[in-house]
Chain A
Amino acid sequence: MAKGKNRPAAEVNSGSMADIAFLLLIFFLVTTTIANDKGIAMLLPPKPDPNEPPPEVTKNDRNIFKIQANSLDLLLVEDEPLKDVGMLKDMIKDFVLNFRKPSIEGKELYNSLPATLRSHVQSKGKKENSSDEPGEAVVSFKADRGTSYELYIRVLDEINAAYNEIYGQRVGITAEEFLQLDKSDPQQNEMYQRARKGIPRAISIAEPNKIGG
């Protein structure tokens, strides 16, 4: 051991470096937001053409599931008042999967369904006053100008939940998993397309009227 030349290694004290980095980190934590862009996606109908008369309603009345909300946030579903919004999902599911009088495509669609959905149709479906087949079914929602946005989203959520559950069950996954399918992945995209084939998500949002009903 050479005693005299044992100098300590020249070192810059970097203990405070962590503090500086922490300051930066906290600055970023405070000034930024984690983007939480999630929500209910909707496609608005195209702008009406002024040169053409409004299209006539050719759908049979039974093929339209009518939901109306008034300015007091009360619901009228298929001409009957409904208190519990949570029941809408099952009602819409039964309505869409009715197969009252399916066309040839409708029959093919029925045969392509998995056993769980088919038994659902057998137990609940084939009502006279409900939709002919899923391809024909339309869910119509009309709100009043005084209806709260909260209820509007709640109803839209229920409608979407009904469709997503049908889609999910069709390919053997839950509604949650169906929503999380990544369309850029070919395998998952194929699953998505398979689930949606023949059952369009037909949601019609009518223009709200001005008078509270």
Chain B
Amino acid sequence: MPKFKKSSNTSEEIPTAALPDIIFMLLFFFMVTTVLRETSIMVAQTLPKSTQLSKLERKSLVSYIYIGKPNKVELYGEQPKIQVNDVFIEPKDVVRFVNVEKDKLSEVERDQITISMKVDVEAKMGIVSDVQQELREANARKVLYSSLKRLD
């Protein structure tokens, strides 16, 4: 079929020059939507599930408190511990932690600080309410019980 043979001159390659651009777009999307892991979490974190979830409105005002059983049980024991910024603290140190976090914010926003409590489901209310009492003491009253979506 000579008719078809004639066109075999043209290049059959698909131009792939735009592929890197597409991948870069994906990359930038991920860079913008994600945050780098700041602290390594040293306690068990199986978050509870609930249905009435609200979103945090301003990320910059949020500080995190992690509560749960330590991952290194042989080192820290079985009892749930409180972790902030890579260290374990006692409930009485929560006030100081909140004040440090408040100092990072600008003056007008200090009272709007939100504490996101990431508490493991295995934890008991005793330690959670100790932290809550200290938060009241430190005048950081906005609390978010971090939780996952339950579907039912």
Give per-residue flags for B36-75: 1 if the beta carbon is below 8 A from chain A beta carbons, else 0.
1100000000001011111111010010000000000000
Q: Which of A33, A43, A150 contacts B48 (CB 8 A)?
A: A150
CB closest residue in chain B, given A159 = B52
Give per-residue flags for A145-178: 1 if the beta carbon is below 8 A from chain B beta carbons, else 0.
1111110111011001100100000000001000
Distance in Å: Cβ of A19 to nearest Cβ of chain B? 9
B124 within 8 A of A: yes
Residues of A125-147 contacting chain B, CB below 8 A = 143-147
Give chain B residues whose Cβ lies under 8 Å from the Cβ of A104: none
Contact A153 B147 (CB under 8 A): yes
Contact B30 A42 (CB under 8 A): no
Q: Which of A17, A20, A146, A207 contacts B124 (CB 8 A)?
A: A146
Q: Which of A18, A41, A46, A208 contacts B144 (CB 8 A)?
A: A41
Which applies to chain A's interface (DSSP): helix, strand, loop or mixed? mixed
Contact B20 A18 (CB under 8 A): yes
B84 within 8 A of A: no
Give per-residue flags for B110-124: 1 if the beta carbon is below 8 A from chain A beta carbons, else 0.
000000110111111
Which applies to chain B's interface (DSSP): helix, strand, loop or mixed? mixed
Distance in Å: Cβ of A179 to nearest Cβ of chain B? 6
Give chain B residues whose Cβ lies under 8 Å from the Cβ of A208: 125-126, 129
Distance in Å: Cβ of B92 to nearest Cβ of chain A? 15
Chain A interfacial residues counted at CB < 8 A? 50
CB closest residue in chain A, given B135 = A44
- The docked-state distance in angstroms from the alpha carbon of A145 to that of B147 is 20
Task: Give the bracket for the number of chain B residues in contact with chain A.
Answer: 35 or more
Residues of B73-92 contacting chain A, CB below 8 A = none
**A18, A149, A160: residue with the most chain B Cβ atoms closer than 10 Å:** A149
B149 within 8 A of A: yes
Distance in Å: Cβ of A196 to nearest Cβ of chain B? 14
Q: A146-B125, A148-B123 are in contact. List 13 more A-B contacts (CB 8 A).
A: A17-B19, A22-B23, A28-B34, A38-B149, A39-B145, A42-B145, A45-B141, A46-B136, A148-B124, A149-B123, A153-B147, A154-B50, A207-B129
11 examples of A-B residue contacts, CB within 8 angstroms: A17-B19, A28-B30, A32-B35, A37-B116, A38-B147, A44-B142, A46-B139, A145-B129, A149-B48, A179-B53, A207-B133
In the A-B complex, list the 6 residue pairs whose CB atoms are closest, starting with the nearest: A145-B126, A32-B34, A21-B23, A157-B50, A17-B20, A160-B52
